[in-house]
Amino acid sequence: MNEKEIVKLSKRLSSWLRHRPEAIGLDPDAAGWVRVEDLLRQAAAHRRAFTRAQLDTVVERNNKRRFEFDESGTSIRARQGHSIEVDLGYAPAEPPDVLYHGTAERTLNLIMAEGLLPMRRHAVHLSADIDTAVNVGGRHGRPAVLRVDTTAMRRDGHEFFVTGNGVWLVDAVPPRYLELLAAR
């Protein structure tokens, strides 16, 4: 598969595994897992067929590492970003002292007033580095990067979780923990 094909299949999988499993007749379990054989069968039934080898390639080579197989390799799920109800089962984790959030510059006034909210997702996504935050923010317009004071948040009782691909999750980030680094 070339990079364009990987991105195309990754976007389809994101839609099905994170937002609209019913679109092709999938029924994820409480933790978001779908049996690979069901995914392949239902995709084919909806004229979106792909092979297990292509699926393996997307999971392995997707630059955002959005998907994971279970230990047996027979089920798959998205690591984060769901708008459907799931319990991913991540244990609380100790974050670095600072994390970052990339957003579009046009959203800064609202964020600085209300904080970071999960919106249509289950959690706010944070990055461990500025470059990743810039890339995330750039997907939505001119990027801006916010610094998140995780030390103060932890002291005040907020819990953090980290996914297998290094994305940090938190329920919300109130404005008092945010600092605008610079619009990029």
Domain ranges of the chain: 3-78, 98-183
How far is the C-alpha of 4 from the C-alpha of 7, rounded, in Å?
5
pLDDT at position 121 over 90: no
**What single-letter amino acid sits at 41?**
R
The tokens 């938190």 sit on which residue?
170
Domain 3-78 listed as CATH 1.10.10.970: yes
> What pLDDT sits at residue 182?
62
Domain 98-183 listed as CATH 3.20.170.30: yes
pTM of the entire predicted model: 0.78
